[in-house]
Structure 1
Amino acid sequence: MTGAKLRLPLRALLAVLAGALMISGCSSPPTNPQAKPADPVAKVSFEPGAGAQRVNPAAPISASVQRGEFDSIELRNSDGDSVEGKLAADGQSWKATEALGYGKSYSWSGRATGDDGKQVEVRGEFRTVNPDKTNHATINPRDDAVVGVAMPISIKFDEPVEDRAAVQRALRVRSSTPVEGSWAWLNDEQVDYRPKDYWPANTHVAVEADLYGLDLGGGSYGQADLTTDFDIGRAQIVKADVRTHQMAVVRDGKQVASYAASYGKEDDPGRNTPNGTYMIMAKHPVEIMDNPEYHYRNVRKTWAARFSNHGEFIHENQDNIAALGKVNNTHGCINLSAADAKAYFDSALIGDPVEVVGSASEMEPRYDVYDWLLDWDQWKAKSAL
């Protein structure tokens, strides 16, 4: 029929539209060839951080991984030497078990796998501090020593220490019998520890000095850590009253000996045995003595126990036997007979106190070992803390 319009039934039109929608809904979205794969979830971190400079070689060194575990991990220095360390049981952290060296570069290597199954490389570098100089120190008493109740703990450095407070913070003293004690700087190269009163007899003492990696100031660092474990022996004290012409020995609270003695000449200050609390510093079966001021050299005496670096000893002097127990006429030493000097010598320990009283003069606290010449407040005032 000419000019007639084509009419579709309504039901047919809806069917055509529904088919078109179904075709559109089942089609896939277009792909993006530029899409980036997801990053691995494992994250590795270091202490110190990668790229760190002037790291303290004694500081804790570690690596850890979040959302994963280490498959392998290693830390090497610039010489290719591997640093000893321990991987945690869960595989998520590693710690160095040895101190590092001064002035060295270190690099990490290894791999970690995340909980997404993807691996990441372990990489990072850092460098330790390179000191201008290192300062060597020694500690006394040594391991396993048995010493007297006046024995101080002494740490001596080869060079002056600028940051004394830093040193003291690195020192620890433990004793089997608790004591009140303090460190004191006798000079800029020596720090000593002593209790307020004498050590209790038969006490065990342990000392730790964490000096390696410690900044001592002035570009100097500690060369090595120090430790010592020693024991205090019985409590033996020399009671030396110059007015009595006797030298008494008190052991564990009881007098066990009294020896006829001669002390320093009383009317000559240069020959006094000065008042003060000292300690036995050294023992020698034979001592060669010199005193040019009083015109004697190469004098041989036996059973000599030094108790002051001013020059005082307890020793044998058979040549002065007539004065023992009667007259004070020595050059400052305590003279005994040969038999008595040997008996005392055999009983003495390094660190035994020697208490001198009744003299016309006092000992100036400056002759190397003067720990017990200071009262407790004076001693504490020499602490850097």
Structure 2
Amino acid sequence: MIERRSVFKAALAAGAAALVAACSGSNDGTALPQGGSGEDGGEPVAPVAKITATPAVDAKDANVREPVVVKVTEGKLTEVAVTNPEGEAVKGDLAADGLSWTSSEQLGYGKTYTYAAKATGTDNRPAELKGSFQTIAPAKKLRATLNPADNAHVGVAMPISVKFPDGPPKDRAAVEKALKVTTDSDVEGSWGWISASQVDWRPKEYWPENTTVSVEANLYGVDLGNGAYGRSDVTTKFKIGRNQVVKVNTPDHVMKVYRGGSEHKSYPCSNGLDSDVDRNTPNGTFIVMSKEPTARFDNARYGYTNVNKKWACRISNHGEYIHENQDNAAAIGKTNNSHGCVNLLDADAKDFYDSALVGDPVEVTGSRLPSPTSSDVKDWFYDWPTWKGLSANK
């Protein structure tokens, strides 16, 4: 948080009366008179100007997302300073009419801020506001991460993911209300909680190609429940690429790649062993999660470790990849005998690898094995009504 000194002063009107009435702040943030006397020597004469502030003087647990506002009635503000514990002024602006001052930077958690405001009333008498207030001090601050990252170029099935690595927020509805997705074309979508610590946004259908997407997670100062508040705001802006969809019907031993709805490439493949359901390539709509020029495969259950394969595109945290397996060339295009991955010949694997974007959909059908719920990228395993039901704001 950057705090800057910002104090404004305005000259009092020429010819003002020389009478001075000092003031101090009341508990409701209102300037009150102190000293001075009436013309007949009786009770002190109060200035007509009345200064108020939000948060009020002596306020506790002030909301750090709300601006500080100082206002005056029956007069104009001549000086306003709101200072932090280090004595630095909070940045703010005086309205053109001189009737209010509003801060323009976020406040910090668990801090005491001090007011010093002056005004000149319509009676040409000075009024003053002094005092302080305290902001909320969270019991815990939850950090959020946002994916895709800034300037990412991703496929048409890419979900937006907000994760809370410090622990799950209790108030899921409050989280969703703080999230905003903006696109340069109309796209219907919804948030859905994949786990207690992860909420994703996906479109109803695949993203329109070449869509620009901006995401705001305005979580700083948001009460997330159980004394936890958002640590900071997070934003990202990314681009959807061309429409490329991979389709594998496992009994066909062919992996087809579609561009813009038309078949673009076709590669012979070998998928998970048909006779062992546990080794089937599971059904479902996956996405390309990552690309690795070389990946190491270990599966002690089936007797192999430290097996390196090239041009590997991960499609599931359940263990499935699309990758080169030249050692299995005799089976590729003829029979399914892998341990769940989609095996391609070396040249085909390289060609596909070069064409793939993280976020490209991979649609697998024809298997006896259902979609793996253990994968943390399972947004497209749900039909649309079910997905919307995963939102906290139904």
Partner of 1:162: 170
Matched, 1:91 2:98: yes
* Partner Cα distance (1:138, 1:361) in 2: 32
Matched, 1:148 2:158: no
* Partner Cα distance (1:48, 1:33) in 2: 38
Deviations 1:185-216 (A, max 9, x none): 11110000001111111111111111000111
Deviations 1:216-274 (A, max 9, x none): 10111000011111111100000111111010000111111000100000111221101
Partner of 2:137: 130
* Partner Cα distance (1:232, 1:95) in 2: 39
Partner of 1:34: 41
Amino acid in the other structure paired with 2:180: R
Contact in 2 for aligned 1:73/1:122 (Cα 8 Å): no
State the shift of 1:33 in Å. 4.5
Partner of 1:71: 78
**Equivalent residue runs for 1:200-219 within 5 Å:** 200-219=208-227
* Partner Cα distance (1:287, 1:140) in 2: 23
Total equivalences in the alignment:
355
* Partner Cα distance (2:338, 2:84) in 1: 64
Note the residue ranges of structure 2 that are not aligned, 5 or more in a row.
1-37
Contact in 1 for aligned 2:278/2:369 (Cα 8 Å): no
Q: Which moved more, 1:61-70 or 1:279-288?
A: 61-70
Partner of 1:233: 241
State the shift of 1:37 in Å. 5.0
* Partner Cα distance (1:365, 1:235) in 2: 26
* Partner Cα distance (1:80, 1:366) in 2: 52
Contact in 2 for aligned 1:70/1:113 (Cα 8 Å): yes
Amino acid in the other structure paired with 2:78: D
Partner of 2:146: 139
The change in CA–CA distance for 1:125 and 1:95 in structure 2 (over 3 A counts) is same
Partner of 2:296: 288
Identity of aligned residues (%): 52
The change in CA–CA distance for 1:188 and 1:349 in structure 2 (over 3 A counts) is same
Amino acid in the other structure paired with 2:107: L
* Partner Cα distance (2:371, 2:79) in 1: 66
* Partner Cα distance (1:110, 1:221) in 2: 31
Contact in 2 for aligned 1:87/1:94 (Cα 8 Å): yes
What TM-score results when the alignment is normalised by the length of structure 2? 0.88
**Equivalent residue runs for 1:248-263 within 5 Å:** 248-263=256-271
Question: Secondary structure of the equivalent of 2:219?
Answer: coil
Note the residue ranges of structure 1 that are not aligned, 5 or more in a row.
1-30
Question: Secondary structure of the equivalent of 2:349?
Answer: helix
* Partner Cα distance (1:142, 1:276) in 2: 26
Amino acid in the other structure paired with 2:72: V
Q: Which moved more, 1:84-93 or 1:255-264?
A: 84-93
Contact in 2 for aligned 1:155/1:192 (Cα 8 Å): yes
Question: Secondary structure of the equivalent of 1:243?
Answer: helix
State the shift of 1:145 in Å. 1.0
Deviations 1:299-347 (A, max 9, x none): 1111000000000000000100111100100000000011100110010
Partner of 1:55: 62
Deviations 1:129-179 (A, max 9, x none): 111110001000111111100000000002111000110111111111212
Give every structure 1 segment of 4 or more consecutive aligned residues whose post-TM-superposition deviation is greater than 2 Å.
31-38
State the shift of 1:366 in Å. 3.1
Partner of 1:27: none
* Partner Cα distance (1:237, 1:175) in 2: 21
Question: Secondary structure of the equivalent of 1:247?
Answer: strand
* Partner Cα distance (1:110, 1:101) in 2: 21
State the shift of 1:122 in Å. 2.4
Give 1 or 2: higher helix fraction: 1
Partner of 1:356: 364
Partner of 2:391: 383
Partner of 1:4: none
Instruction: Choose from 69, 81, 89 the match for 1:82.
Output: 89
The change in CA–CA distance for 1:32 and 1:42 in structure 2 (over 3 A counts) is closer
* Partner Cα distance (2:343, 2:185) in 1: 36
Bigger Rg, which one: 1
